[in-house]
Amino acid sequence: MSDSKNLDAKTHGVLYIGMDLGTSRTSVSASNGVRETVFSVVGYPKDVVSQKLLKKDVLYGKEALDKRLSLRMYKPLEKGVLKYTGEAKDPEAKTNLKAAQDLIGEAIRLARPRADELVYCVIGAPAEASVRNREAILEAAKAHVDAVMLCSEPFSVAYGMDMLEDVLVVDIGAGTTDLCRMHGTMPEEADQVMFDVAGDAVDAELARRIEQSCPGAQFTVQMVKEIKERWGFVGDAPEKCLVDLPVDGKPTQFDLTDQVRAACSVLIDPICKGITKLIATFDPEFQARLKNRVLLAGGGSMVRGLDTAIEKAMRERLGGGKVVRIEEPIYGGANGALKIAHDMPAEYWEQLK
């Protein structure tokens, strides 16, 4: 895409892509109306036989998960950032970086760009990703687009909703939860909080509880993730979580209501602590307004009852507060990044080409 011949031919339009590069899922929203999401996993055939059988050099997302027994699997992101970016000489680190590049390429392909259009992309990265990590993401993306920018993930959520003043965004991903307060300008370091209690921590807690309470039940991390996504809730149970798990090869039904509730509840306390910290250090005159404008975003925000549970905890700690879940938790970051890409002036893009 970057050769001169193609650049010369790119006269038919400008495609903006907003990307949320996440530990669990990577989502894209584009200015041609395409919105897609893919699990952030990449698989390479283990040997020539599997390569011939699969007829592909690389598989992504659900397809890779389905064929994982024939593949060397890579999950290039961990806790919201690229793995191993510090030790690039290590062969495993190199392959991981290649997996990240391939994943970003696949996400761009999912946006279905035309060969003759300029592609400008904004990628939402975790608020506290290291400089080395940001460089690695930029490097990975450059191979597939004409110009690329990074921006803080929770910031892009707020920008997408046009809520730039006195808003506190809580973006619950798989690897990290990012909190960011907005006050009309670019957020600084003091405006952001990040911790690693997020979707993966819920999965680990749920797996531990199932192991303890369901003797003989066999399950994988992927199965636990699916249970959480299907049933995840906190507070009063909307329904019983009746799940079939194999015991000695025989599907056996378990009631996991209490386990799911307890596992999902691990999110509440750290989020409330983060909210409290950001509100307590904000201009006192605007604290009341800020705590009444808390936005929940990211895949983790789909846990049912989480907004109410956080409001309840805020009442106890801060004397009140209002939490709103954004309409499209999976695409919130990508939509915001798309809006930033759209609003970025032409001369800025030119400087990054």
Say whether residue 345 binds other proteins (CB under 8 A).
yes
User: Rounded distance, CA 258 to CA 154, Å?
Assistant: 31
Q: By CB under 8 A, what part of segment 44-83 binds other proteins?
A: 55-56
In this complex, which beta carbon is closest to other proteins, that of residue 274 or of residue 336? Answer: 336
Whichever of 58 and 202 has its CB closer to other proteins, that residue is 58
Write a three-state SS string for 174-201.
CCCEEEEEEECCCCCHHHEEEECCCHHH
Site for other proteins contains 186 (CB under 8 A): yes
Nearer to other proteins, 206 or 290 (CB): 290
Q: What are phi and psi of 295, to 5 degrees?
A: -105, 130
Q: Which residues lie closer than 8 Å to 57 by C-beta, 6 or more apart?
A: 44, 45, 51
194 contacts 169 by C-beta, under 8 angstroms: no
- Please tell me whether residue 351 binds other proteins under the rule CB under 8 A: yes
Shortest separation between residue 197's beta carbon and other proteins, angstroms? 27
Nearer to other proteins, 108 or 256 (CB): 108
Angle at 72 between CA 222 and CA 176, to 5 degrees: 45
Q: Which helix (H) or strand (E) holds 277?
A: helix 268-280
Of the ranges 133-141, 229-237, 239-247, 256-264, which one interacts with other proteins (CB under 8 A)? 133-141
Q: Could you say whether residue 112 binds other proteins (CB under 8 A)? A: yes
Please list every residue from 324 through 343 that binds other proteins, using CB under 8 A.
340, 342-343
For residue 148, give the H/E element and its range. Answer: strand 147-152
**Minimum distance from CB of 54 to other proteins (Å)?**
11
For other proteins, the closer CB: 128 or 139: 139
Contact between 163 and other proteins per CB under 8 A: no
What is the distance between the alpha carbons of residues 285 and 104, in angstroms, rounded to a whole number? 43
Residue 1 interacting with other proteins (CB under 8 A) = no
Q: Assess 184 for contact with other proteins (CB under 8 A).
A: yes
Among 114, 230, 289, 322, binds other proteins (CB under 8 A): 114
Q: Which is nearer to other proteins, 9 or 190 (CB)?
A: 9
Annotate 116-134 with DSSP letters as a single string: TSEEEEEEEE-TT--HHHH
Comparison of 26 and 156: residue with beta carbon closer to other proteins: 156
Site string for other proteins, 267-306 (x = CB under 8 A): ----------------------------------------
240-246, Cβ contacts within 8 angstroms, sequence gap of 24 or more? 245/210, 245/214, 245/217, 245/218, 245/219, 246/217, 246/218
Distance CA 38, CA 26 (A): 5
Task: Quote the CA–CA distance of 47 and 158 in Å, as a whole number.
Answer: 45
> How far is residue 128's CA from residue 125's CA, in Å, rounded to a whole number?
8
The least CB distance from residue 347 to other proteins, in Å, is: 9
Q: Is 185 in the site for other proteins (CB under 8 A)?
A: yes
| CA–CA gap between residue 338 and residue 33 (Å, rounded) | 11
Binding-site member from 90, 116, 244, 269 for other proteins (CB under 8 A): 116
- What residues numbered 134-153 form the site for other proteins, per CB under 8 A? 134-135, 138-139, 149-151
Q: Which is nearer to other proteins, 319 or 345 (CB)?
A: 345
Both tokens of residue 5? 């011949």
Interface residue list for other proteins (CB under 8 A):
9, 12-16, 30-34, 55-56, 109, 112-118, 120, 131, 134-135, 138-139, 149-151, 159, 162, 164, 184-186, 340, 342-346, 348-349, 351-352
